[in-house]
Amino acid sequence: MTEYDYWKIFPRMPKKVTIGDITVRDGFQHEEKFISTRAKKFYLDELIFAGCRDIEVTNLGNPFLMPQFEDAEELLTHLRSDRFKKRCANKGINYDDITLTCITIREGAVDRAIRLKDQGIGPDRILMMVSTEEEHHFANSGTTLSEYWKEAERCIKKCTDAGIKMCGTVSTIWGSPIGGATDMKDAVEFTKRWLEIGAHDVEHADHDGSASAPDVYRYFSMILDGIPDTSLHIAHFHETKRVASASILATLQAGITNFEATLGGLGGQPANFLDDSPVKGTGEYYYNDPRYVGLNCLEDMLVQVDEMGIEHGYDVDRILWLGRQMERTMGRRLRSEAAINGRTLKEGHPRFARPGLKKLKEKLGEAPDQKLPKEWKEKAELPEKYRP
């Protein structure tokens, strides 16, 4: 007999997940207009109030390269303020449960994070990144992999002394937009290297939508076979072919419990143009059309896991509302379907019902719950040629 219980078929699949939000950092870094500091504060606040406890605040790299983040210190100061902490307390949120993350690709940014920590506004956690394909790594960091690993090891020691956690990202797991096909075994090895040199956790990243569900399931099964502690692993998917939801499902089936997402599916390669001026960013875009890229949508992912009965800790309706506000902030239609069409509610959507069914059933003498003709047998008899 076929097993119908999904969790018996995939015994590693979790009943509870953690979904971190990275809208204000990864989501906004791809925008070619400056998102106001006021808007950034609004979304940081509201995402936390809606249930997010792991949130990326900003990028601490050189704002000359990415001027979208020239307000980094103001955002951190806002989230470390007594006023914000009081607002959290008034909403029943334990401020100590919130983890503020900043991106620090190079050592200079790491040093900046440590200085901000000394000032009382620094992040709890920072992130450095390697790609298994070296051309992609060089495009992001400007250095070789070998040199970068030594820099990362040095930075982790500094962070440990400063009381800051380090997340190590592994990218191009399922392919590189520059170098093409990659070997997933390299990403497993790189994950172990991050943990060997002291990283607190590892983000496993599909940075250009290369992943396919079978390879995602295979990869994360390999990861958990070798490193079974699920708290160490975060899944990060981009959406370029409308298949990220399949990758998320495959990741759940493999047993991963931690994910990242952005409102509206925003995000992608750092912008090389901002407002009315070219900026350096990370160089030329490696997408055919930079308008149709981004991460997996927070709104859609929440609806997906919520309707599977998986706990997530968010107020889904509040997030759907935030997604609609984000469309107004961006001035365009974003990529979330759930933000527009809502959830599939168990009680249905009675407002869409056509009038007259009750009266018609009464006229025909049918019972309110009758679905078949009275003279039919209670159970269908399947023709023998169709039977198993």
pLDDT of 345 reads 83
Calculate mean pLDDT across residues 297-312: 97
On the question of pLDDT at 184 being above 90, the answer is yes
Tokens standing for 275?
């407002």
pLDDT band at 195 (very low <50, low <70, confident <90, very high): very high
pLDDT of 11 reads 96
pLDDT of 348 reads 84
On the question of pLDDT at 127 being above 90, the answer is yes
Report residue 362 CA to chain centroid gap.
Answer: 51
On the question of pLDDT at 383 being above 90, the answer is yes
pLDDT band at 346 (very low <50, low <70, confident <90, very high): confident
pLDDT of 344 reads 86
pLDDT of 349 reads 83
Q: Which H, E and C letters describe 344-381, residue by residue?
A: CCCCCCHHHCCCCHHHHHHHHCCCCCCCCCCCCCCCCC
Calculate mean pLDDT across residues 73-101: 98
- Which of the residue ranges 213-217, 225-229, 288-292 would you say has the lowest mean pLDDT? 288-292
Single out the residue of 228, 289, 230 nearest to residue 256, CA to CA: 230
Calculate mean pLDDT across residues 76-105: 98
Q: Token pair 């097993």 is at which residue?
A: 3
- Name 104's Cβ contacts closer than 8 Å, sequence gap at least 6: 59, 60, 61, 110, 112, 113, 126, 127, 128, 155
Within 13 A of 224's CA, how many CA atoms are on the CB side? 21
Tokens standing for 358?
């009750």
On the question of pLDDT at 138 being above 90, the answer is yes
Question: How many helical (H) and strand (E) elements, i.e. helices and strands, does the chain have?
Answer: 15, 10
pLDDT of 207 reads 82
Calculate mean pLDDT across residues 149-176: 97
Q: Which residues of 163-198 are buried (b: 16+ CB within 10 A; e: fewer)?
A: ebbbbbbbbbbbbbbbeeebebeebbebbebbbebb
pLDDT of 77 reads 98
On the question of pLDDT at 288 being above 90, the answer is no
pLDDT of 290 reads 78
Output the CA angle 373-374-375, nearest 5 degrees: 95
pLDDT of 1 reads 82
**Percentage, residues of the chain above pLDDT 90:** 89
Distance CA 75, CA 48 (A): 14
The CA–CA distances, whole Å, from 337 to 42, 298, 324, 344 equal 23, 11, 11, 12
On the question of pLDDT at 284 being above 90, the answer is no
Is the C-alpha dihedral spanning 111, 143, 272, 290 positive or negative? negative
Strands 273-274 and 18-21: unpaired
- Residue 92 burial by Cβ neighbours in a 10 Å radius (0-12, 13-18, 19+): exposed
Given a contact cutoff of 8 angstroms between Cβ atoms, the answer to whether 101 and 54 are in contact is yes
Collapse the DSSP code of 274 into the 3-class scheme (helix H, G, I; strand E, B; otherwise coil) and give the result. Answer: strand
Q: Render pLDDT for 356-382 as a digit per residue (tens, 0 to 9).
A: 999 999 999 999 999 999 999 999 999
Strands 18-21 and 165-171: unpaired
Distance CA 244, CA 340 (A): 19
pLDDT of 76 reads 98
Instruction: Please state, rounded to an integer, the average pLDDT across all residues of the chain.
Output: 95
Calculate mean pLDDT across residues 342-354: 86
Q: Which phi and psi angles does 53 have, rounded to 5°?
A: -120, -10
On the question of pLDDT at 334 being above 90, the answer is yes
pLDDT of 283 reads 83
On the question of pLDDT at 352 being above 90, the answer is no
Q: What domains, with CATH codes, occur in the chain?
A: 6-341 (3.20.20.70), 358-386 (no CATH)
Calculate mean pLDDT across residues 272-282: 93
Higher pLDDT residue, 347 or 163?
A: 163
Calculate mean pLDDT across residues 46-66: 96
Distance CA 70, CA 335 (A): 27
pLDDT band at 297 (very low <50, low <70, confident <90, very high): very high
Is the C-alpha dihedral spanning 97, 100, 101, 104 positive or negative? negative
End-to-end distance of the chain based on CA atoms, in angstroms? 11
Q: Which phi and psi angles does 54 have, rounded to 5°?
A: -125, 110
